[in-house]
């Protein structure tokens, strides 16, 4: 492996680790509603509050302080540590990409039909592992059998990693020596080299 290939591999590995950390870090959200499910059903049936007011209260009291704020701090550290372009719009795209792909909604969806937190945790974690396999980092997508290749289209890992990589290399030019002489490729055309 050349030095450039090692740098590309390290970059993709670091991005994969960041995405995996954020996705699996939100498994604790499964327990959020299951513990209070019976109370919520009773109070909702008694018309103490609507579903929307309960959900907004959960968002304001749990999701923002427990999930989004730590993610903003983590993102601020990792963005500059990985040597991404120091531009405000690229930083906010990176931050927004991780916030959108932190999979909290899948955890909330996993709670709907299950009454035991352990079973919901297992089902959501299994879903994440399958998505991780078809994300394009652990398995080369060409080696996946054709019948199940469509699973790459539902992999949150794939979309998260691609969004972060495109955000990182957008606007850059790469020196690619194919034959005697140096060719300059803009970043979108160079995406295939990563």
The angle, 0 to 180 degrees and rounded to 10, between the axes of the packed helices 3-25 and 156-169 is: 130
Q: How confident is the model at residue 108 (pLDDT cuts 50, 70, 90)?
A: low
Instruction: Answer yes or no: is pLDDT of 22 > 80.
Output: yes
123: enclosing H helix or E strand: helix 117-133
User: Structure tokens of 37?
Assistant: 């499910």
Give the pLDDT of residue 185. Answer: 47
User: Structure tokens of 40?
Assistant: 């919520």
Give the pLDDT confidence of 31-72 residue by residue, as tens digits: 777 788 888 889 889 988 888 888 788 778 877 788 888 888
Token pair 């899948």 is found at 106
Instruction: Answer yes or no: is pLDDT of 187 > 70.
Output: no
Give the pLDDT of residue 147. Answer: 92
Instruction: Answer yes or no: is pLDDT of 190 > 50.
Output: no
- Residue 136's CB is within 10 A of a number of other CB atoms, namely 17
Give the pLDDT confidence of 125-184 residue by residue, as tens digits: 888 899 899 888 888 878 889 999 899 888 888 888 888 888 888 777 655 555 555 444
Burial class (CB in 10 A: 0-12, 13-18, 19+), 169: buried
Q: Is the dihedral of CA 149, 185, 19, 11 positive or negative?
A: positive
Give the pLDDT of residue 105. Answer: 65
Residue pair 128/101 in contact (Cβ under 8 Å)? The answer is: no
What average pLDDT does the segment 2-30 reach? Answer: 83
Residue pair 120/34 in contact (Cβ under 8 Å)? The answer is: yes
Q: How do the domains of the chain map onto residue ranges? A: 3-193
């Amino acid at each position: 492996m050349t030095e450039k290939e090692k740098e590309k591999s390290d970059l993709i590995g670091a991005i994969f680790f960041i995405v995996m950390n954020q996705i699996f870090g939100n498994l604790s959200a499964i327990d959020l509603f299951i513990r209070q499910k019976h109370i919520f059903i009773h109070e909702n049936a008694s018309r103490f509050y609507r579903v929307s007011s309960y959900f907004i209260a959960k968002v304001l009291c749990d999701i923002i302080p427990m999930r989004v704020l730590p993610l903003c701090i983590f993102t601020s550290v990792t963005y500059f540590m990985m040597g991404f372009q120091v531009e405000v719009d690229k930083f906010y795209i990176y931050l927004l990409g991780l916030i959108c792909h932190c999979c909290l909604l899948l955890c909330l969806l996993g709670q709907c039909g299950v009454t035991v937190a352990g079973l919901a945790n297992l089902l959501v974690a299994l879903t994440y592992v399958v998505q991780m396999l078809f994300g394009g980092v652990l398995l080369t997508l060409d080696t996946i059998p054709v019948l199940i290749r469509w699973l790459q289209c539902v992999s949150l890992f794939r979309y998260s990693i691609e969004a972060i990589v495109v955000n990182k290399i957008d606007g850059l030019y790469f020196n690619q020596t194919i034959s005697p002489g140096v060719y300059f490729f803009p970043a979108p055309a160079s995406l295939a080299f990563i």
